[in-house]
Structure 1
């Protein structure tokens, strides 16, 4: 069985993230990285789009959710994106990392990573 690993790298979006007054009034940049694993034997053999996980669909859902949302905590934002990444029944593993650039004065960014192992799915 061939296992595919999709990487959506450095998806740059803007959203309301944080609980300080200025963070709740002004959108901030976030940088999103998503890794999704799924079995790809059928898509590799058939070259049929219906047998592949559509990363464009996943990305569109993430963009809509992030840009339209308001989040107090990075944990909630990352958890929501992870849930979107795991929606398709073929997904066996998903990892989401979100960076919040310039969150700390002397750091390039602060990031949070969550992952889900879904090996038991049929």
Structure 2
């Protein structure tokens, strides 16, 4: 199956980073998700109950990262991927987590992981 559900450019305000000053302020993280999902069923039924609820996924992403307050993007990505797969039954996902402004010469730094099997 090659179907996916996408969430791109989700902004999450949370504590992130390893430096003392970073542990005292909220910063932006940008989240992109591609999640394997069989879209044939909701495509045929036109019933929201057959679809992956991207609103619920979005809420879970925000709550997970805000509660986690990761020091490392790698840790945030791993924990978030595991939670999304467990809660929503997502077999495969690609997750990109970016931290804008972390390096002055770059728009953002980040990590991209893929977990599970398509």
Q: Could you say whether these structures have the same fold, taking a TM-score greater than 0.5 normalized by the shorter chain as the test? A: yes
Aligned length in residues: 117
What is the aligned-residue RMSD (CA, Å)? 1.6
Secondary structure of the residue aligned to 2:95 is strand
Judging by fraction of residues, say which structure has more strand.
1
TM normalised by structure 1 equals: 0.85
Aligned ranges 1:41-120 → 2 under 5 Å:
41-87=40-86, 88-89=88-89, 91-119=90-118
Secondary structure of the residue aligned to 2:15 is strand
Aligned to 1:32: 31
TM normalised by structure 2 equals: 0.88
Secondary structure of the residue aligned to 1:36 is strand
Structure 2 unpaired stretches of 5+? none
Is 1:8 the counterpart of 2:7 in the alignment?
Answer: yes
> How far apart, in 2, do the equivalents of 1:24 and 1:66 lie?
14
Stretches of 4+ aligned residues off by more than 6 angstroms: none
Secondary structure of the residue aligned to 1:19 is coil
Structure 1 unpaired stretches of 5+? none
CA contact (8 A) 2:4 2:39 kept: no
Which of structures 1 and 2 has the bigger CA Rg? 1
Q: Aligned-pair distance for 1:3?
A: 4.7
